[in-house]
Structure 1
Amino acid sequence: MAEKIRDIAHVSAVELLTPVLDDTVRFFTDTMAMEVVERRGNSAYLHAWDDYESFTVKVTGAGTSGIGRTWLRARSPEALERRVHDISSLGFGEGWSKDEPGYGPVFHFTDPDGHPFGLYYETQRYVASDATRPSLKNQAARFPGRGSNVRRLDHVNFLARDVPPNADFVATALTGRASEQIVLNDGTRAAVWYTFSDKSYDVVYTRDWTGSQGRLHHVAFATDTREDILRAADVFLEAGVHIETGPHKHAIQQTFFLYVWEPGGNRIELCNAGARLLLAPDHEVVTWTEAERAKGQAWGLKTIESFHTHGTPPAAEAEWV
């Protein structure tokens, strides 16, 4: 059996679209404890305190909410070359760009559902200022000590009109490995969790009930502990941020979670997922059935209706319907 190549290092950054740019930026600075590191045109670049990369989130003003580009870092120049070849051979490549701060050449492409991605290797690491320089030299910046103190980007959950083509694309073109999945009674894969590293997952594809393409379910950011998430719930409550569900624990992946909506309408998750690693090189995909999903979350909390119906951009405004 040929050895499985793992050419993607991690999901490095994500672009969120918002109709209320200033409010969304304040959400990330005040309640998520991120730092604005650059502004370009109608976009603000923000950095999570222990991200080695120059930025973690790009927030762009737009007519509606939704997800823009998701960036992936390749493991090496050779890995980048292999992935560009395979993505292009499948017809999803769009060409190269040098438009983003901190990145070298970025190869633009889409997944089968139309979500835009950027793949690169060359990067400039975050350089702390006098105000953010840490005492501990093995972290990118000092602990901010405000809001929810999210450490880094954890994963992205994409909505897709049809999950299998997108899941297969991640497995083949991006060399991801599946960790868990939901299979309906008719045999349809309704959701698949993929990892590029030893984390339990980095990207997720969930079936979009509206039949739309290119939409977002949520973007997740990692905290250090469950207690951080409990405190974050109080922070969001005091700030008037809409708390959708949680704090609680998922059955799938066992992620401790809190879901909120940022002012632009995009769903944001705070999670503590780092305790569960996939160290087995021959990990077998865990499959969940409809009956098992109907039991709700790990401790019995039923999944609320909006978790299945809310996505961004709103279905009526999605460009790809």
Structure 2
Amino acid sequence: MTSLLHDVAHIGHVELLTPEPEKSLWFFTHVMGLTENGRDGDSVYLRTWDDYEHHSLKLTGSHTSGIRRTALRASSQEALDRRVKAIDAAGRGIGWIDGDAGIGPTYLFTDPDGHEYELYWESERYDPPEELRPALKNQAQAYPGRGVCVRRLDHVNFLAADVEPNGNFVRDLLGARATEQIRLDNGNLGAQWLHFGQKSYDIVYTSDWTGSNGRLHHIAFATDTREDILRAADIFLENGVFIETGPHKHAIQQTFFLYVYEPGGNRIELCNPVARLILAPDWETVTWTEAERAKGQAWGLKTIESFHTHGTPPVPAP
């Protein structure tokens, strides 16, 4: 049993790359309901209505799709210093940069698969303009009433050539804990779900069947209710957004889900995981076998083939 370190508070934001910047911006603002909060060159800063920081998503125009960087907020300046020292000693550090919009000094590093992370402490709390000021003062922004209206950025699922060393890195260097995992018949990990706090998962690693490194499986946004996801399916249908699978319920983590592709090709999940919190300080990792996973999702839906082959940036299938 691994104890949580609590030096990492939560995922702050992600930078997503898109070869279709205008169409992707339309998707995230008009369809998903995020609010624009500034621009910088080819990048647009977007926020969900109840994330407290400057932005939840940095959308950057690029020649390809995928994820450039995942930002984690430390729980204090001292926690940031501890994690930087540990990461540097492990040889995974890139170095310090000036923080992006709304955040202070930032330390860059990579996991064993090559995904880039950034870690920071100083953060600017969002101060909404008058037209977005909420009636409830404990809410970051007024509910926009546009599109799906996702509430917050929830988690990131990375594809990895080898799951286990990446999970070990997030556990040993960042202080996370594995809540659930899939152990294949050959002994390898097929996927692993890790968390930093009482949310049941923040970071996921999934085996990349192409053998590639540094790719994205999906980023996920949480909704208020399961019914929001059912309504979102109709919203996606009306707007010509490709629905890959769902709505349905995962067996692992029991999350209600819906997966779509945004116009740049990145997979996006809507999830409603709020019923599952890990309160036990001595939680032991739940391990699923290959035979158990072959039964499909919680209510019998089989996992579709593209779930194992589609990632960004795209590469030839094996």
Q: Could you tell me the TM-score, scaled by structure 1's length? A: 0.97
Q: Which residue of 1 aligns with 2:314?
A: 314
Q: State the AA in 2 paired with 1:47.
A: R
User: Any conservation in 1 of the 2:3–2:282 contact (CA below 8 Å)?
Assistant: no
Separation in 2 of the partners of 1:2 and 1:193?
14
Q: How does 1:249-260 map to 2 (within 5 A)?
A: 249-260=249-260
The percentage of aligned residue pairs carrying the same residue is 64
Q: Which residue of 2 aligns with 1:54?
A: 54
Superposed CA deviations along residues 169-198 of structure 1, whole A, max 9, x for unmatched, are 000000000000000012111111000010
User: Any conservation in 1 of the 2:49–2:152 contact (CA below 8 Å)?
Assistant: yes
Q: How does 1:95-114 map to 2 (within 5 A)?
A: 95-114=95-114
Q: Which residue of 2 aligns with 1:305?
A: 305
Superposed CA deviations along residues 272-320 of structure 1, whole A, max 9, x for unmatched, are 0111000000001000001000000000001111111100000149xxx
Superposed CA deviations along residues 219-250 of structure 1, whole A, max 9, x for unmatched, are 00000100000000000100000000000000
Q: 1:39 to 1:281 in 2, by over 3 A?
A: same
* Other structure's SS at 2:134 match: coil
Q: State the AA in 1 paired with 2:18.
A: T
Q: Which residue of 2 aligns with 1:238?
A: 238
Q: Which residue of 2 aligns with 1:216?
A: 216
Q: Which residue of 2 aligns with 1:200?
A: 200
Q: How does 1:169-184 map to 2 (within 5 A)?
A: 169-184=169-184
* Other structure's SS at 1:139 match: coil
Q: 1:281 to 1:62 in 2, by over 3 A?
A: same
Separation in 2 of the partners of 1:35 and 1:199?
25
Separation in 1 of the partners of 2:116 and 2:110?
4
Q: State the AA in 2 paired with 1:104.
A: G
Q: State the AA in 1 paired with 2:21.
A: L
* Other structure's SS at 1:134 match: coil
Superposed CA deviations along residues 117-143 of structure 1, whole A, max 9, x for unmatched, are 110000001111112110010100011
User: Any conservation in 1 of the 2:178–2:195 contact (CA below 8 Å)?
Assistant: yes
**1:164 Cα deviation from its structure 2 partner:** 1.0
Separation in 1 of the partners of 2:299 and 2:2?
41
1:275 aligns with 2:275: yes
Separation in 1 of the partners of 2:64 and 2:133?
36
Q: Could you tell me the TM-score, scaled by structure 2's length? A: 0.98
Q: Which residue of 1 aligns with 2:291?
A: 291
Q: State the AA in 2 paired with 1:160.
A: A
Q: State the AA in 2 paired with 1:138.
A: N
Q: How does 1:153-192 map to 2 (within 5 A)?
A: 153-192=153-192
Structure 2 unmatched ranges of 5 or more:
none
Which contiguous aligned blocks of 4+ residues in structure 1 show a shift greater than 4 angstroms?
A: 1-4
Q: Relative to structure 2, which stretch is displaced further, 95-104 or 294-303?
A: 95-104
Separation in 2 of the partners of 1:232 and 1:5?
36
